[in-house]
Amino acid sequence: METIQREQTEVLNPYEIVKRQIDTAAAKLQLPEHVTELLKRPKRVLSVSFPVRMDDGSVRIFEGYRSQHNDAVGPTKGGIRFHPDVTIDEVKALSMWMTFKCGVVGLPYGGGKGGVIVDPRTLSKGELERLSRAFMEAIADIVGPERDIPAPDVYTTPQIMGWMMDTFSRLRGHNSPGVITGKPIIIGGSQGRNAATAQGCVYAIQSALEDIKLPIEKAKVAVQGFGNAGRIAARLLTDLGATVVAVSDSRGGVYDANGLDLDRVEQLKDEATILDYGASYHISNEQLLELDVDILIPAALENVITQENAPRVKARIIAEAANGPTTPEADAILNKNGTIVIPDILANAGGVTVSYFEWVQNLMNYYWSEEEVLEKLQVNMVKSYNAVRDLAKEYGTDLRTAAYMISLQRVTEAMRARGWV
């Protein structure tokens, strides 16, 4: 995974943002205050410190967290992040977002998230393995296939998931692949997981294009971020006939109004940098967001569309492959301008959906082909997009609020059925 240079952006406190998003949707649903207050707090947050032996024989103490937001609908689910900027508030907020993401696409999960304060680029492979195994040991009492199922996130990889699954299985004394998703395929990973986020995002975009009656062959696309989500989305849209006019990564972007030669961009990215496409094609990441395109896919960082640049955004559809790319103030401006914003909890839910499929396959010990996985993903994404779009129409609101309303409603119903509220 590439560097996500979060340090470059001033990140709004995600915990405050998610609480505001809950309030907006809860007001529409007229939820009682005690329900809203419960939803604003994680059920359980575990804070751990653990020692790791370094290659030079010294011992370093690391800190990490696991937050389980709400398990009314089912076991909690969400990634583990290794990053020097991890904070307990961030992990809590991300676990809350996971509840709403699982809710909007109808997965039988609540939200969880974990993180360790570490810059994994400073560790050797052996140190990284010992750290990964030690963190899993530290949280093993509260995770498990029926309790809380982690997955990869920033700076954590299928290999790390493999080590963690192995540690958990050793502690339990039997093979337990369903404890974690995003594993290498040979030990229970799912076909289709690598492209799942981008693929899910593209299914949602196709539905939105149908709504505005724009054939995909006529659509111009700009993609910010050329990693797992952005690069694969650009490829899939090109293969469907769309014209990708701009892409960027952390160093900047390239733009050709007539369409980029995506094969060449991919090759340049693998060899060195997309900027080798040619100096006359260069644009900045800020310019990319304001291009005259039909579809804009922010697939890199948080808070890139702000109240400052939102009035200049021309895209008719914004598909939030990244988590939290639009600030609440920018959201209001985009909604006023009639931009269709497919919210992150829906647009990038393909990843957790295929993680769910991985867990189901692990529990059955029976594995699907890539075609089967993608077909099930498509059915679920299109169904979820349509439900959000229809509710937004019914309430005269935006897609984000409607997505939250569906999630909140679902979690609230489950809490009522259990007699919690």
Binding residues for NAD(+): 197, 228
Q: Is 2 a binder of ligand NAD (CB under 6 A)? A: yes
User: Exactly one of 92, 113, 183, 269 is catalytic; which is it?
Assistant: 113
Q: Which of residues 270-299 bind ligand NAD (CB under 6 A)?
A: 285, 299
Of 111, 130, 112, 109, which Cα lies nearest the Cα of 120?
130
Q: Is 248 a binder of ligand NAD (CB under 6 A)? A: yes
19 is catalytic: no
Q: Contact with ligand NAD (CB under 6 A): which of 150, 189, 225, 343? A: 225
- Asked if 286 and 309 count as a contact pair (C-beta separation under 8 A), the reply is yes
Minimum distance from residue 232 beta carbon to ligand NAD (Å): 8
Q: Is 320 a binder of ligand NAD (CB under 6 A)? A: no
Q: Contact with ligand NAD (CB under 6 A): which of 21, 227, 319, 359? A: 227
Q: Is 309 a binder of ligand NAD (CB under 6 A)? A: no
Minimum distance from residue 204 beta carbon to ligand NAD (Å): 13
Q: Is 1 a binder of ligand NAD (CB under 6 A)? A: yes
Minimum distance from residue 285 beta carbon to ligand NAD (Å): 4
The nearer residue to ligand NAD, 36 or 303, going by C-beta atoms, is 303
Contact window for ligand NAD (CB under 6 A) among 45-53, 242-250, 260-268, 306-314: 242-250
Question: For residue 421, how far is the Cα from the chain centroid?
Answer: 29
Q: Is 201 a binder of ligand NAD (CB under 6 A)? A: no
Minimum distance from residue 345 beta carbon to ligand NAD (Å): 10
Q: Is 300 a binder of ligand NAD (CB under 6 A)? A: yes
Binding-site members for substrate are: 77, 101, 355
The nearer residue to ligand NAD, 129 or 249, going by C-beta atoms, is 249
Q: Is 369 a binder of ligand NAD (CB under 6 A)? A: no
> For the chain, what is the HEC assignment?
CCCCCHHHCCCCCHHHHHHHHHHHHHHHHCCCHHHHHHHCCCCEEEEEEEEEECCCCCEEEEEEEEEECCCCCCCEEEEEEEECCCCHHHHHHHHHHHHHHHHHCCCCCEEEEEEEECCHHHCCHHHHHHHHHHHHHHHCCCCECCCEEEEECCCCCHHHHHHHHHHHHHHHCCCCHHHCCCCCHHHCCCCCCCCHHHHHHHHHHHHHHHHCCCCHHHCEEEEECCCHHHHHHHHHHHHCCCEEEEEEECCEEEECCCCCCHHHHHHHHHHCCHHHHCHHHEECHHHHHCCCCCEEEECCCCCCECCCCHHHCCCCEEECCCCCCECHHHHHHHHHCCCEEECHHHHCCHHHHHHHHHHHHHHHCCCCCHHHHHHHHHHHHHHHHHHHHHHHHHHCCCHHHHHHHHHHHHHHHHHHHCCCC
Q: Which of residues 323-362 bind ligand NAD (CB under 6 A)?
A: 323, 348, 351
The nearer residue to ligand NAD, 177 or 343, going by C-beta atoms, is 343
Minimum distance from residue 370 beta carbon to ligand NAD (Å): 16
Minimum distance from residue 127 beta carbon to ligand NAD (Å): 21
Q: Which of residues 66-85 bind ligand NAD (CB under 6 A)?
A: none
Q: Contact with ligand NAD (CB under 6 A): which of 76, 132, 199, 228? A: 228
Task: For residue 337, count other CB atoms closer than 10 A to its CB.
Answer: 12
Which residues are annotated as catalytic?
113
Residues that bind ligand NAD (CB under 6 A): 1-2, 4-5, 8, 197, 224-230, 248-250, 285, 299-301, 321-323, 348, 351
